[in-house]
Structure formats: C-alpha cells, structure tokens
Structure 1
Amino acid sequence: MLWHRKVARRAPGMTLEGVLGANDRLDRAAGRKVPRPGALCIAADGRLLLSSGTGILALAAWDAEPEGWASFDAPVTALAASPGGGIAVGLAGGGLSVRAPDGSPADGWRPPDGLASITDCLFLSEDEVALVDCGYGPADDILSLAPWDERAAGKVVALRRDGAPRLLADRLHCPMGLCRAADGPLIATELERARLVEVDGGAVRRAGFPGYLGRIRPGPEGYLLACLARRDPLIEFLKTETAFVADMKAAIDPHHWISPRVDPAFSHDFPIELGATRLFGEVKPWAPSFSYGLVIELDAEMMPIASAHSRANGHRHAITDILSWRGDLIAVSAGSGEVLNLGPGGAAA
C-alpha cells in the first residue's frame, strides 16, 4: 500500500525543455489592464467576453474600448458561450446565471444546490450546460491548499434548462477546466495532479504536465492549456517529507504554506524567496519563484507543441484562461491583472 501511494504521487515527468523551454512570449505580448480578470469566452456575434470582478466586459476588437455587458452580485468565476448565443456565467459560491445574447437573464435556468465553486462551464446543447465544481469554496486559497490536499471533492454536473441536474463525474481532484475532445469525450483538467482526464470513466488522456493546470480550450493545432503556476521542485520534494508537511499545516496559516501563488511580487513574509535576492539590482529569470506564467499549446493528441512563459523576473503570472480569437491567442494573467494578446500560436511563434 505504501509503495502504491508513492507511485500515485510521483512528480510529473515533463520538464521545461524542448517545446516547453523557457522563453518570454508572455512578457513580450501586448496587454491591457483589466480589474480582476479571470475568464474568457467568445460570444456568438464574435465579441470577446471577459470577466472583471463582478462584471463582464465585451471587446469588439483588440484595440477597441471595452463595454460593460452584464454585472452580478458576486464575482464571476467562469464563462461559456453556446452557438445559439447563450452565455453561462459561473459565480462565486456556486451560483450560476445564464444570459441571452444581449446580457439579459434567460428564462428557466436555476443553479443546482451543493456546488462549492464553479471554475468552468461548457454548453452541451442550447438547453444543457456542464458545470465544473473544484470542491473549494470562494474563501479558500486553492493554490495553497490543493497541492497538499488528498481530498478528491471535485465534480462535474450537467444542468438542464428545466433545472434537473445529473452528475457526470465526482471524486475529481480539484478540477479546473473542461472541453470536448475532438473525438467526443469531455475532458477535465486536474490542477494538482497535472493531468487531463475523461469525465466519463476517468481515463487519463495525458499526464505529467510541468504546471498546475487551469482551463483547457480548443486551439489552432489542437488545444490550449492555461497553467496557474509551474511545478516547483521544492514542493515536489516536500511531498516525501510527511512530518514536515504535517507541522506546516498544523502551525502555519495556509496563505504562508510552501505552495504556488498568484502574485509575483517579492515579499519578506515568504522566507523561501530570499533565494531570489537581487543580483546587481535584478531578479534573475531562473531565481526561485512560486508564481509563474505558463501557457502550453497542444496538438490533437494533447501532446505539447509550443509554450509561452513569464519567468521569475516577469510579472504576467497565474494564467487563468486562454483561447484563440480572430487568429490570435488571448490569455488572462491574474498575477498582473491583464488580458494578453500573444499573436498567432504554434511552434514558430
């Protein structure tokens, strides 16, 4: 039994080499500041919808001024668009609002009870939407908790317009994203397990990614994978030091655990970051950093073919979403509070 547990928790196999090798694509990308950005989707009329705190903004073109599209009583945590123009909006605390193309509430939709937090959603038809519940509430620091939590409390639920929910999958370990594979199955990302799994049956499609996985979207060559941070060697090593981890969890606030983070700002509240002390007034790109910006482009077989990075000396960290819009890759950096335009994707970018 002990041997089995060690195998199940071994560090991911992919390293930041080859097509995953370090670069500065995220830091070179055009960007625009947005208050508290998080999720993206493309409306049926071609506009880019972007969550901003408790509201949603609409962009008609990259250089256009954003327009208010809808506002809510809670922060927006997920977005999805249907071919017919409907927009599903996940809200903090497990709430859901489905909107018509003009932003007005659509009739007949009510969120199911018992959801902790909707991290992603996907229309299965015009009258049914799949919801990803990561299992953590809005007050929980997911990036601090998930790397050290063995609970598999996440699930995917399908909700019909008439309000009848059905469970598609449960016992997922912090699922964050959802997309439909080209060959049909729904694929979910698991943040800490660094893998893509089929919702129906749990088969692992691809594993060993060198990042903490966020959302997955269709892309020009196959798929686009947003990562909230890179895998940290210290964290992976400490998973073998059970006594240390038990003391850390018992004595220290989760915000100060040795875990990935969103904010790239240097802080003396985190002693481990003394390893990133400036050399000649600079933080070097290879310095220790628990925050990181990483996008992975995948082919049709979900193998990496290209990547975009913001390293320790960058600030465009914690990529929460990415999609292809009008030929360009558009990403959200929660670390810098920006929406980024990476230009065309692909290995030659």
Structure 2
Amino acid sequence: MTLEGMLGPNGRLDEARGMKVDAPDALCVAADGRLLVSDGQRVMALAAWGDEPEHFASFDAPVTALCQGFGGFVAVGLADGAVWVLDGYGLPVEGWPLPAGQVASVVDCAFTPAGELLLVDCGYRSSENLLALAAWDEQARGRLLSLSRSGELRVVTSGLHCPMGVCLDPDGAPLVSLLEKAMIIDASGKVRQAGYPGYLGRLRRTATGYALACWSRRDPLIEFLKTEQAFVEKMKANVEPRHWIGPRIKPEFSHDFPIELGATRLFGEVKPWAPSFSYGLVIEMDESLMPVGSMQSRANGHRHGICDVAVWNGHLVAASKGSGEILYLGSRA
C-alpha cells in the first residue's frame, strides 16, 4: 500500500487539539470513563479533555502497556517485563503475579472474555533501539503470551517478528500487529491483512472497525536497501544503531544522520512531501482491516511517532511520542 487513495496525504494530526505529556506511550479507557495515559513511570487519569490530569499509579520502570477489562481491572505492562493488575483506584489486585525478567518487554496487553491477560512481548529489551534493530533484524523473537490470575504464563504464539499490538476481534479472537512486516495476524500466525504503508504500532477496535497507530511511514530508501545486503552488513558492523538508516520517532535533523536527510530542505524549508524517516500516521480501517481513511503529520509536521490510539467517549485519541502529546482527533471513530 502507498499513501494514496484512501490514504492520501493530509495534515489532520497537526490540525488536531493537543495536550502536552512528558513521555506518552500507552492509552486506555478505565471502567469509570477516564482516559488513562502513561507518562514515563506514571499513569495519569484524565476525566475530560482540557482537565488537569490526575495521578493514578506509579512504578519503578517506564509504563509500556495499558488495557482495561475483566471487572474493571487495569493491566499495566512495564519496560522491564513486569506486569501489574490494578483496580479502578490504581491499587494492586491480589494475584496476577508476573515479576520482571520472564519476558523482554511488555509492549501491549488485552483482557480476554475468559479473564486471561494477553501480553505482547516484542522480543527487545527497553535498552535496545527497537526501531533501528527491527528494520534490519531477521530474527523473530517476539511472542504472544497469556497470563492467568493464578500466575500461569502460557505461550500462545512464538516466533513473531517484532509484534507491537494486540486487539480482540468481534468474536474475541486476538489480532496482532507486526511492526516491520507491516501485517496483522491472528493467534495461529495466519495473515489477516498485510502491505500497510507504515511501521505498525498498536491496533484498537472502534465503532466502525479498527484504528492502527503507526510509528512512521515506510521509507523507500529502507525498502531499497533490503536488496543491498553487503551495504547493510557494513552499516551494522561500523555504525551505531542510532545512526542506522531506519525509521525514527522525531523529525530531527543533524549533520551526522543518514545522507537522505540532506534532501529534506528546499530554500531553507522542509516541504511536506520531502523524504523523512519520521512521520505521523493513524490508519482507519473497516471490519476486514482494509483502510478507509487516515490522519497524518507529514515531513514538515512534528506530531510523529504515533504509538497508540484509543476511543474515548466516541472520539479518537492518539499518543505522539515525537511531539510529546496526546491528540484529540474527533468523532470519526
């Protein structure tokens, strides 16, 4: 898929209302209707757009996953692989033990109708540059796991290439988004839809289908270099991962970044159509996971690195790591 037709370029993310958050990552809606937002090692609660966020819970590691379900419980995944389950007041619930160390990093979670907690382990530690590594790493180390309240951890699917999100379809079956492979699969590994023009983040149900957060759009230079194995091996051997040619979260420019960034300015101005390793993209999809619309922040925008979306009071909300904001996107959900 390319950014045309239903996915034609637009500036809807840059036009949306925003609220600053120091380190946004995960979103979910609590049983009482408040929007929960991860902010580094904290989870904040927002009763209404424009209100001052209230403290909900704090942890010893950055919060990398949130979900609500199973009696109003809130599950919290941490960068070190630990998982907590909280009640509606932000207090720990007895049981559900998963200490740090059993998984690399929990990047998303979802409660099943049966009361189990699905966990997405992307396979990369929080200290690793996930976006840089996943673009060039052929090793499929990610897993979809299931945690019961008794503490039993079961592998649902293994051998996944950088899974980033999990969502239940209308029948309660899990769908998993794969960041670099640009596809959505089911628990058996069967491809449900593929060819998306972005590096996929989390997938969420909406009233009309699904919304898909994308870390960035797919870059033609990166796709071309996948055919140039000798160059890639030399880059990986001699250059730090943060300087690899790969997707990025922020629209930063520096003399020591890959040479493609030297072409992004014309008469001193970044053009919206310029090549860019970072981008803001939310894809709206129907029940069959086919795109029906999009919200974008182009090369000259700053709301890049969209990592999560949520439907809150009938409105779509997104988290931008690139700009450090949550975005209020309107009622198209």
TM-score by length of 2: 0.97
- Pick the aligned partner of 2:139 from 133, 151, 173: 151
User: Aligned residue for 2:229?
Assistant: 242
Q: Where does residue 215 of structure 2 map in the other structure?
A: 228
Provide the rounded CA distance (Å) in 1 between the counterparts of 2:102 and 2:256: 35
What are the within-5 Å matches in structure 2 for residues 1-349 of structure 1? 14-111=1-98, 113-125=101-113, 127-199=115-187, 201-270=188-257, 271-277=259-265, 279-345=266-332
Alpha-carbon distance in structure 2 between the residues aligned to 1:290 and 1:315: 12
Structure 1 contact 84–126 (Cα < 8 Å) conserved? no
Alignment-mate amino acid for residue 157 of structure 1? L
Gaps of 5+ in 2: none
Aligned-residue offset at 1:83: 4.6
- Please state how far the C-alpha of 1:281 moved relative to its aligned partner: 3.3
SS in 2 for 1:98: strand
Q: Give the aligned residue type for 2:315.
A: D
Contact 1:143/1:260 (CA < 8 Å) preserved in 2?
yes
Larger mean CA deviation between 80-89 and 118-127 belongs to: 118-127
SS of aligned partner of 1:156: strand
Aligned positions, number: 331
Corresponding residue SS for 1:343: coil
d(CA) in 2 for partners of 1:317, 1:40: 16
Whole-Å Cα distance in 2 between the matches of residues 182 and 239 of structure 1? 36
Quick check: 2:120–2:164 contact (8 Å CA) kept in 1? yes
Q: Between the two proteins, what is the percent identity of the paired residues? A: 57
Question: Which whole-Å deviations, capped at 9, do the CAs of 1:72-115 have from their partners, x for residues lacking one?
Answer: 11000000101511010000111111111100111012116520
Is the alpha carbon distance of 1:235 and 1:140 closer, same or farther for their aligned partners in structure 2, counting shifts above 3 Å?
same
Q: CA RMSD in A?
A: 1.1
Q: CA deviation at 1:127?
A: 4.2
SS class of match (1:273): helix
CA–CA distance in structure 2, aligned partners of residues 226 and 147 of structure 1: 17
How big is the shift at 1:185? 2.1
3-state SS of paired residue (2:233): helix
**Cα gap change, 1:126/1:56 in structure 2, threshold over 3 Å: closer, same or farther?**
farther
- SS of the residue 1:216 aligns to: strand
Q: Which runs of 5+ in 1 are unaligned?
A: 1-13
